[in-house]
Amino acid sequence: MDFNDLYRRAHQGDDSAEQRLFGLMTVMFRMFVRRRGVGTEDVEDIVQSALVKLVRTYRQGEMKSNFAAWAQTTIKNEFIDFCRARSTRRRGQAELASRFPIPAAVPSDPGLKTRLMACLRKLHATNPLHARIVNLHYQGFEPAEVCARLNITANHRRVALCRARAMLDACLKKGEGRDE
């Protein structure tokens, strides 16, 4: 059966013709977009957008031209719009990348973890509250929750965290965390 015949029958109220028409349009649209090398997720977005336009026009009433030709034009236009949007997105990403270059990777230090643990032990021996604040902070607890758990004020937490970080930084820079 021809798409235009299906359209006429569907438009006259034949529900099975309407379901078949839009089922065939969906398959046809997917094949059209897939042949152009678009990823699976994008295929569905393009097809759905074209189908929405098709249904809107279908529900409004009469088609002024050949239904099959109009449907084909609709999917082509959706594909063109998608390509334009993708091109614009890529240009924007390239511009952002040129403005904010990704910094070079910092070389990993295999002994850092061991030294850091030794410095944390030293911090705990010096000031257990500072060590607990650092520990809770890096476990991902919210500042208010840290304050509630340790029964301290927000300002006290901030100052203690700053001092604890400074102590850890000094310990790591001096190399005191090395095995002795």
Domain chopping of the chain, boundaries: 3-99, 112-174
Taking the CA atoms of 156, 162, 166 and 171 in sequence, report the sign of the dihedral they define: positive
Check: CB of residue 24 under 8 Å from CB of residue 10. Answer: no
Q: Is the pLDDT of residue 163 over 90?
A: yes
The amino acid occupying position 118 is A
In this structure, what token pair is assigned to residue 143?
């500042």
Residue 159 to residue 155: CA distance in whole angstroms: 6
Query: pLDDT per residue over 87-144, tens digit each?
Result: 888 888 888 878 777 766 666 777 888 888 899 999 999 999 999 999 898 888 889 9
Q: Is the pLDDT of residue 153 over 90?
A: yes
Query: pLDDT per residue over 61-87, tens digit each?
Result: 666 678 788 888 888 999 899 888 888
Q: Could you say which DSSP state residue 68 is in?
A: H
In this structure, what token pair is assigned to residue 107?
């070389």
Q: Is the pLDDT of residue 3 over 80?
A: no
* 3-99: CATH architecture: Orthogonal Bundle (1.10)
Residues in the chain: 180
Residue 15 to residue 169: CA distance in whole angstroms: 73
Q: Domain 112-174 has what CATH class? A: mainly alpha
Residue 110 to residue 13: CA distance in whole angstroms: 73
| CB-neighbour burial class of residue 53 (10 A; exposed 0-12, middle 13-18, buried 19+) | middle
Q: Is the pLDDT of residue 47 over 80?
A: yes
